[in-house]
Structure 1
């Protein structure tokens, strides 16, 4: 024996509580995810804007100084000093020193130097200061080597004399096309770092070694974002790029990628020592080759958006839950009140029924007997009347179907005969008897098909099924096109036919021709008053279910929604009164169903047709069977 246990909490089934909980968690998860994605997308837009500003400011700041070494190298006194070498007079040395001092003061750089071929600074803008660069050998610096080898050099490093980081630009000084020394400019990036500082974010520039050389977080400067190999460490030490410091890797953890240029990661929080914070990291190449600009944006705002979304969903579910509990309690109170009223009413009814049953038993039995006799007579009369109405309705239905079918079957051949006769007369007038005879032969075939039709009408009662064979779609469409050839030409209709060669379906040849003629005629009526008159007939290759989709679409006004739902019912039409009985599509639907196919109609809402109606017939493919050509 099975025991059915129903658990309820406050009148609500347990399954309802479980469904509500599942719905809450699903809605909360979706809302939190949506809020996170939307907030991070907005943060990514802010980051992209920040990167644009930082890259532009970096390019502007560096562009002020990039051409300075080349300008200094063109100075005649500088070339004269380098050309004279150790034999240079104190006057030319003083002249170059004062020139470099003026250039450095006007440009706002840290230092401007002139270096001979051995890498020794022989003139400097700080020649008269205690930490003068004059006499310093910089032959190991990459910017000096690149200037002599390639004409220009660029290098970010820490000064060996001052210990101050800066960016070096160098240019070769040439005489008769040969380098005789180099001019170098050192500039500070403190102004950039100060301009880039913003609450809740960090900005930095990473050089080709992966080392942070410019940063709004001072503790991160000269740390690497990726491990540096031992060979590269030795090269860095040899160039004294970072003043002999060992470059350590910044302790951070990379998370998931958000987009092609953004990812999530946890970095040490410079605002709270000992803590790490999640940031949205975005980067792009810097204006200088090999460097990149990176910005870190705090995602605390996105977390706050998640919390707000969760709070909103929770509040909405709490309100809905309270309302549901109130509705359940109110329903229970009403149900108990109605139950008490029903119990009282039932007791009164039972008392009255007992008295009535004992006092009127015989009267009721007699009345029931009389009523049964009268009801039987009424039933017999209604049965006879109903039989007569059914017979009458059947006669009317058969007459209507035969009349409609005969009209549609004979109308199309008659139209074709009229067209062919007009063409034949034209051919005779043009003295083209061969074409005229061919048209008359087609007329004879159409007359034969009409004779076959009348013969089939005689055998209508004993021919319930349609004999289906493989029929060529191209032949059937060509027959319909021939019938309407004159109308298509006269009305300027663009008819596009796209049917794969060899396409065949299971159908009856003449009836398939009738179906396509009916649909093509309706399409011509639809585009007749249109500005753009296009009809497209197409068929697809058989699908995996071995079915062929055949479509006829027009650029007409389409079918009204209230008509579309009943389009294939008898006497439903979109044509004006007096231009159709609404039987064509009903007959077409019966013929298609007799093929074992299915027809449907839709309105076009997009695509190059932009408007109009489309009829689709799903046939059974017969590509591997013998094809019967259209009559």
Structure 2
């Protein structure tokens, strides 16, 4: 039997070889990883022992030096009533020694165990007046000349190491001097990742530890009588010493062993660590280090992954060799079919390309026709507006013509009478009337011609003035209040002719909406409020407003609010297309007090000036 072309016996043999190799690699990696941890632990213990010996050596001699001071001897020899005069000098000396050494405190203790002088005599928590007769460091120094003791301070609650030395004078012991040092610097210096270091005293209690939760716990249960002795000495400030939960497991080489300890990264759990120990410089104490086995486990995982990867690569290469032969045969068969498919595809592509080319040409032609139609539609909209303004413009032209005829007849009469001054005045008035008519016809001619397609800077104030001129007669006849508030810097990007058509359309619609109003009013304004790159332009009226049903479709073709026969509904649609061609936006709203407002947000012509006619 075969599986994908590979015999089953070959697969079974490969599986057995893989399992055996992986097991051997994992075991070798474990031994190497633990041996490396053992070597690192031994090195760490050497460093910790050296640093502890150096730290203790700095302070151990201090009590003996202080015990030789004459002022301290004189203080202990003096009767209690005569000590007050000697205290300032002794306290000052002890404070200077403590500051120079960097210790916690330096004390002078009489034979009763009372602290009569201390370096912290002037601090809120002072050792002066404290009785330490129960402390082993005091009793050992009185009995044997020196004492050493680790405990928690009864006044401060801070752990520390105490050194004491007897003070002798006249052949007898007068008292003792003591110095207390903090072990916090040691704990900080010993704290490294994946490792826990600790000092265990003669009671089996952890007194120094880089894991705060392990401090003042016992590696093994303490007997009841020993607990009583510890409580009597108040070594741990009266607190009960709990069991750490330490369990020794298998031994390893080089004096190391495995032990189960609380996990310092996950409180409440226990883990297996590699533990090593060495005697501490202080008699009866031991330095221990617990090493995290995660590095050895990672080496196992790497070894397993390496073997697995190697076998996978070998297996894949074998499968590749088998499949490659099969693929070559299939490829030769597929080449003929592919060639035939390519030939059919090329023919199809050529046909489709020709069809697409024809479609593109037709679309380009259609787009050109659409653009031409849009231009014609815009021009037609202008002509429609001109037709609506014809009556008013006829009135504007007829009145000046009648006045011109009358002024000319009067001028001839003045010349006949020999009054040339009056005749010349009449002729000047005729010239002004002709100028006004020429300006009006020029505006009509500029409005009616087909616009250019390029946008230029245009001043909105000038565009509104030209548009108003076309409706000036109607505004005057209908008594419309026309308010204009256009900022001087309201210059926009637009095509002048089309912009004028937009304003004319909107102004004409506003005038139409004011029919029948008692006090018709139109407001026109423009400013650069808000975004400096935009110009806001508006035309507002106080007419009846726009039907809400029509407002949503106002700029669509053939939508109008005028009665039947008064418009096709193309004016606002054309206006919207023109405005969008400028890159602007147009909107319409009904005002709260009545009327409607059209707003156009133009692109500001920054850094450019408007052309003047």
Q: TM-score, normalised by structure 1?
A: 0.49
Instruction: Show the counterpart of 1:177.
Output: 171
State the 1:289 CA deviation: 1.2
> What does residue range 560-571 of structure 1 map to in structure 2 within 5 Å?
none
Structure 1: how far apart are the matches of 2:317 and 2:152?
Answer: 70
**Unmatched segments (≥5 aa) in structure 1:** 1-6, 335-631
- Match status 1:205 vs 2:199: yes
Structure 2: how far apart are the matches of 1:145 and 1:176?
Answer: 20
**Unmatched segments (≥5 aa) in structure 2:** 329-613
1:269 to 263, 266, 270: 263
> What does residue range 418-457 of structure 1 map to in structure 2 within 5 Å?
none
Structure 1: how far apart are the matches of 2:305 and 2:180?
Answer: 55
Q: 1:104 to 1:257 in 2, by over 3 A?
A: same
- Match status 1:238 vs 2:232: yes
Could you tell me whether the CA contact under 8 Å between 1:261 and 1:284 is conserved in 2?
A: no
State the 1:254 CA deviation: 2.9
Structure 2: how far apart are the matches of 1:281 and 1:85?
Answer: 55
Instruction: Show the counterpart of 1:456.
Output: none
- Match status 1:94 vs 2:88: yes
Structure 1: how far apart are the matches of 2:41 and 2:171?
Answer: 47
Structure 2: how far apart are the matches of 1:85 and 1:238?
Answer: 30
- SS of the equivalent of 1:259 reads coil
Could you tell me whether the CA contact under 8 Å between 2:220 and 2:246 is conserved in 1?
A: no
Could you tell me whether the CA contact under 8 Å between 1:200 and 1:298 is conserved in 2?
A: yes
- SS of the equivalent of 2:277 reads strand
- In the TM superposition, what whole-angstrom CA distance separates every residue of 1:286-323 from its partner, at most 9, and x where no partner exists? 11111111222222122111111101111111222334
State the 1:167 CA deviation: 0.4
Instruction: Show the counterpart of 1:72.
Output: 66
Count of equivalent residues = 328
State the 1:267 CA deviation: 2.5
The alignment's C-alpha RMSD in Å is 2.3
2:35 to 41, 57, 68: 41
Could you tell me whether the CA contact under 8 Å between 1:204 and 1:295 is conserved in 2?
A: yes
- In the TM superposition, what whole-angstrom CA distance separates every residue of 1:491-533 from its partner, at most 9, and x where no partner exists? xxxxxxxxxxxxxxxxxxxxxxxxxxxxxxxxxxxxxxxxxxx
> What does residue range 287-302 of structure 1 map to in structure 2 within 5 Å?
287-302=281-296
1:26 to 20, 23, 29: 20
Larger Rg: 2
State the 1:13 CA deviation: 5.3
Structure 1: how far apart are the matches of 2:244 and 2:325?
Answer: 65
- In the TM superposition, what whole-angstrom CA distance separates every residue of 1:21-48 from its partner, at most 9, and x where no partner exists? 2221111111011111112222222222
Q: TM-score, normalised by structure 2?
A: 0.51
Instruction: Show the counterpart of 1:284.
Output: 278
Bigger Cα displacement from structure 2, 309-318 vs 17-26: 17-26
Structure 1: how far apart are the matches of 2:103 and 2:182?
Answer: 7
- SS of the equivalent of 2:243 reads coil
Structure 2: how far apart are the matches of 1:327 and 1:104?
Answer: 81
Instruction: Show the counterpart of 1:133.
Output: 127
Structure 1: how far apart are the matches of 2:247 and 2:325?
Answer: 57
Structure 2: how far apart are the matches of 1:243 and 1:55?
Answer: 27
State the 1:331 CA deviation: 9.6
2:142 to 140, 143, 148: 148
Structure 2: how far apart are the matches of 1:145 and 1:89?
Answer: 23
State the 1:327 CA deviation: 5.8
> What does residue range 111-130 of structure 1 map to in structure 2 within 5 Å?
111-130=105-124
Structure 1: how far apart are the matches of 2:207 and 2:248?
Answer: 20
Structure 2: how far apart are the matches of 1:131 and 1:326?
Answer: 81
